[in-house]
Structure 1
Amino acid sequence: MPKALKKRGQTHIASAASKPYQKASPASTNSASTNLISPNTSLGQHFLKNPAVISSIIDKAGLKATDVVLEIGPGTGNMTVPMLQRAKKVVALEFDSRMVREVLKRTEGTDLAHKLQVIQGDAMKTAWPFFDCMIANLPYQISSQVVFKLLSHRPMFRCAVLMFQEEFALRLSARPGEALYCRLSVNTQLLAKVDQLLKVGKQNFRPPPKVESRVVRIELKNPPPPVNFTEWDGMIRLLFNRKNKTLRSVLNTKSVMKLLEDNRRTVQSLHPEKMVDGRPAQVIVEEILERDSWKGQRAAKLDLDDFLQLLAEFNEAGIHFN
């Protein structure tokens, strides 16, 4: 469900018991189209209403009867109920108190109620519980925050199948040289495998969003690569600040050189036993970037192996980015 979460704090809410949505029959628990509660577009709520799309998303996760699923932004439960029918448990994390009540109504008085746990709170301020799979139609403006929190989440999960704005989804798997290739692409692909699953048109939501959407599957690499991610991201952040400039022009600025000198002094003070090149950081950086492998290179054209090699060469020379 596309938009920002502003309220602080969280509330754990147990399953309740009465009848869902329609006064007609309990079969309405499976109906996405019968829910008439008004979405709050200031929170970016766009309810996924097409049952075929919902089924396809859940199928792509390959849910097992033993799985615990984490859903961020369940809304009125259009996707929650079908997941409950397949999984051991669904933990739904929802900010809007109206939606908390609505998603609980979907299972009240049914044999699915005991499998649902609803947590009211901000997804970015709430500690995520253990889960095997995350399946969600996310608030689009917290997409980047969710992805980075997901990449660092432990214990590891099997997969995440998530709905994003189309351009954001394509950035996750963009390759070197492509227009959408960015810091997000590199960091995500360092830690995870990303598959583009399906495109979802605006007409599948109520109300229709202004953008097209895509569903992706994210699987963490296990074991993760042996790299200090804080330092890695420090380098990637700098280089992609101006990704189409040469590495030398990006790094050879007063502010960057000051940062690298400060980092070097910090490392030396913490590890005085290590031999440190006494030359200025600028001289060392320029020496590295004059090598044939890096001369004239731009971040926009480098792949994961290139960045890993570049970081290793910097570190070996005593240049650090955290």
Structure 2
Amino acid sequence: MPKLTTKQTKKQESGADMRAFGPLFNKDLGQHILKNPLVAQGIAGLLGSDTVLEVGPGTGNLTVRILAQCKKVVAVEFDPRMAAELQKRVNGTPDQRKLHIMLGDFMKTELPYFDVCISNTPYQISSPLVFKLLEHRPLFRCAVLMFQREFALRLIAKPGDTLYCRLTVNVQLYAKVDHIMKVGKNNFRPPPQVESSVVRLEPKNPPPPVDSKEFDGLLRIAFVRKHKHLVANFKQTTVLHMLKQNYNTYCSAHNIMLEDDVDIKDKVVEILESIGMAEKRAANCDMDDFLKILLTFNNANIHFS
């Protein structure tokens, strides 16, 4: 029998380890199962009356701890093998009646009522998942979400931080976001390539009366070059063309008389200068700055969506 190389031996041990733990994990689905019970306990912390939505429960290491603390768990799992493993794990236990598994793609699933969302989030759907949760009604109390470390840091960034970006401002408009803990890659099986972090996301209730598409349209312009003066971003030909079209469309739809000689470039510069924002940079603007810009442009009948 040929002797295995060190590399082959490690690969064989890794495969055996994964099989012993349960079904083979699909890395294409971002399946990295949380194995450290101390981390699992740190993520939880629930009320006995809570209905919990768990995204990507995997083999249930976190699920069984959630079940012990709450009224009901609705687990959304894409992989039928993982769902079967989870169901088998709770069958015959007192918590069996408290678990409801929804098999399918989370992003295509109509979500039921829930108080708290807990997710060891597949990295591929991090951003879509956050915005799907923020759009959910009725509002939930909070979400405790595990993400790739850099993505988590973008969510909690402040003006001036390196990772401060359009995602940061869009999320913080509708939710308070706090960093809970760092989670090393060795807390997962198989270990991912990157470190993780857990954040707590608490929707603002009531949500601010801001059109999300309008707000994001403004941020797209502001953050295209976040270290440039805002006036430079707004002076781009494609931006001015879009704003002129939106201006004309809005005025026409609302029976507002169009100015014959309106120069959209001059109008945009005048608006930014009137509120002292022409020379500011998106990288250093806070939430109030962006809301002031949006309101002033909208009051001048210029829209971003």
TM-score, length-normalised on structure 1? 0.86
What displacement does 1:239 show? 1.1
What displacement does 1:244 show? 1.1
Matched position secondary structure for 2:75: strand
Give the equivalent residue in structure 2 for 1:15.
none
What RMSD, in angstroms, separates the aligned Cα atoms of the two structures? Answer: 1.7
Give the equivalent residue in structure 1 for 2:134.
151
Counterpart selection for 1:79 from 28, 52, 62:
62
The share of aligned pairs that are identical, in percent, is 55
Structure with the largest fraction of helix: 2
Any residues of structure 2 matched to 1:210-225 within 5 Å, and which?
A: 210-225=193-208
Q: CA separation in 2, counterparts of 1:229 and 1:156?
A: 16
CA contact (8 A) 1:165 1:212 kept: yes
Q: CA separation in 1, counterparts of 2:252 and 2:275?
A: 33
How many residues are matched? 287
Letter in 2 for 1:39: F
Which structure is richer in relative contact order (CA contacts within 8 A, separation 6 or more)?
1
| CA distance 1:252–1:71, shift in 2 (3 Å) | same
CA contact (8 A) 1:169 1:216 kept: yes
Give the equivalent residue in structure 1 for 2:156.
173
Letter in 1 for 2:246: N
Letter in 2 for 1:171: R
Give the equivalent residue in structure 1 for 2:119.
136
Give the equivalent residue in structure 1 for 2:7.
none
What displacement does 1:277 show? 8.8
Give the equivalent residue in structure 2 for 1:257.
240
Q: Which runs of 5+ in 1 are unaligned?
A: 1-33
Give the equivalent residue in structure 1 for 2:89.
106
State yes or no: 1:66 paired with 2:49: yes
Give the equivalent residue in structure 1 for 2:270.
287
| CA distance 1:144–1:277, shift in 2 (3 Å) | farther
Matched position secondary structure for 2:21: coil
Matched position secondary structure for 1:241: coil
CA contact (8 A) 1:246 1:296 kept: yes
Letter in 2 for 1:40: N
TM-score, length-normalised on structure 2? 0.90
State yes or no: 1:53 paired with 2:36: no
What displacement does 1:269 show? 2.1
Letter in 2 for 1:180: L
CA contact (8 A) 1:91 1:119 kept: yes
| CA distance 1:276–1:121, shift in 2 (3 Å) | farther
CA contact (8 A) 1:268 1:276 kept: no
Q: Which runs of 5+ in 2 are unaligned?
A: 1-19
Letter in 1 for 2:202: E
Give the equivalent residue in structure 1 for 2:180.
197
Q: Detail structure 1 runs of 4+ shifted over 4 Å in the superposition.
A: 273-278
Q: CA separation in 2, counterparts of 1:274 and 1:262?
A: 15
Give the equivalent residue in structure 1 for 2:10.
none
